[in-house]
Amino acid sequence: MMIAILGKVVFYFLIELVDRGIKYFTGESKEHKMITKDILGELKENQAFVKQVTKIINDTDRFTTKTAKEIVNLRAVSAAINKRVKEESDRKKIKEQIEKIFYNTWNDSNVLSRISTNIKKDIK
Residues in the chain: 124
User: At residue 61, does pLDDT exceed 80?
Assistant: no
Q: Which residues contact 75 (CB under 8 A, 6 or more apart)?
A: none
Cβ atoms within 10 Å of 11's Cβ, excluding its own: 19
Poorest-confidence range of 48-52, 72-76, 119-123?
119-123
What is the pLDDT at residue 87? 95
- Whole-angstrom CA distances from 56 to 89, 93, 94 are 27, 23, 21
Tell me, what amino acid is at 83?
K
DSSP state, 85? -
Domain tally for the chain? 1
The boundaries of the domain holding residue 40 are 2-123
What SS3 class is residue 63? coil
pLDDT in tens, 7-57: 788 888 888 888 888 899 998 889 999 999 999 999 999 999 999 998 998
